[in-house]
Amino acid sequence: MIKRVSFSNRGIEVVGNIHLPTDFDEGGAYPAVVLATPGSSVKEQIGAIYAERLSAKGFIALTFDPSYQGESGGEPRDLEDPAVRVEDIHCAVDHLATLSYVNDARIGLLGICAGGGYAIKAALTERRFKAVGTVVANDIGEAMRRLLPDARQTLLDVAAERTAQARGAAARRDPWIADSLVEAEAAGITDPELLEAVTFYRESEYRHPNSTNRLLFVSYGALLGFDAFSLPELLTQPLQVIVGGRRGPTGQYEAGRRLFDLSPSRAKHFLEVEGAGHYDMYYKPEYVGPATARLAEFFSEHLAP
């Protein structure tokens, strides 16, 4: 059962779905997990896949559209601002704390892909999260600095774009990925992982009309200056890091290992899902199954009464 909800992030309406356990009783007090999803993703995609499985294990699972994206409010549209993404997560736990059927002493956090980096950043200063899990977590700032052909030139282009907009020009929006496999082929894209991303987001049953596949260009300014794994000494909560065993250009395996090594938590765990690439961990049952089974075990242990 899914319950549609909304909450505020400094005046912006954030729209989410709460996935309720099968035996849900409104008079109960359940453990809950907030889910932070990948860049460009909406709540009906990867977040829903993991939330559905966690709710089947007895957890309240909240997934939501980031501010400026999906059904959530905020202008300009398609903005990806790490600081706002992190604050969305803080506001999500604020909302859970108002619900009578959530035990606010038993709230966890799960971040996937870029949402993993945002989750870590949020958890550094948010002690209402008693346990933190990640799946193919990435520091989107590090990834952008590594993958863009010339980060310094991109920042110069962002400066020029901001000036143009201040003078009345229309905002520039670029695709996160190719809009189709045909377009990817025409662009000469051959990397299997990038093609898997295009397949999932643009050509599979998980394609969703609220996922625009557009990034407001000025977002690169904030993204390139973001460091998800800074101040690791503050990440003391129990931590579960899950990576795909097949390494690729997203760097998810390396990022997960770095996160695990940096964390000072005395209750940290690392799971490598053999054979899985980055995007396999989004939706393929043979890989999502072991990941969610381990997450349920982890949250059950560390969100215990």
User: Given this model, what pLDDT does residue 294 score?
Assistant: 98
pLDDT category at 70 given cuts 50, 70, 90 is: very high
User: Given this model, what pLDDT does residue 125 score?
Assistant: 97
**Taking Cα atoms as reference points, which of 288, 287, 3, 236 lies closest to residue 126?**
236
Prediction pTM value: 0.97
Mean pLDDT of the chain: 97
Sign of torsion over alpha carbons 156, 211, 275, 109:
positive
pLDDT value at 47 more than 90: yes
User: In whole angstroms, how large is the CA radius of gyration of the chain?
Assistant: 19
Q: Which two tokens stand for residue 139?
A: 């520091």
pLDDT tens digits along 99-130: 999 999 999 999 999 999 999 999 999 999 99
User: Which residue ranges make up each domain of the chain?
Assistant: 2-140+226-302
Range 66-88 average pLDDT:
98
Residue that the structure tokens 């990948």 belong to: 38
Range 169-184 average pLDDT:
97
User: Given this model, what pLDDT does residue 305 score?
Assistant: 84
pLDDT value at 217 more than 90: yes
Sign of torsion over alpha carbons 40, 127, 22, 50:
positive
Q: Which two tokens stand for residue 109?
A: 């956090």
- At residue 184, what is the residue type? A
CATH class of the 2-140+226-302 domain in this structure = alpha beta
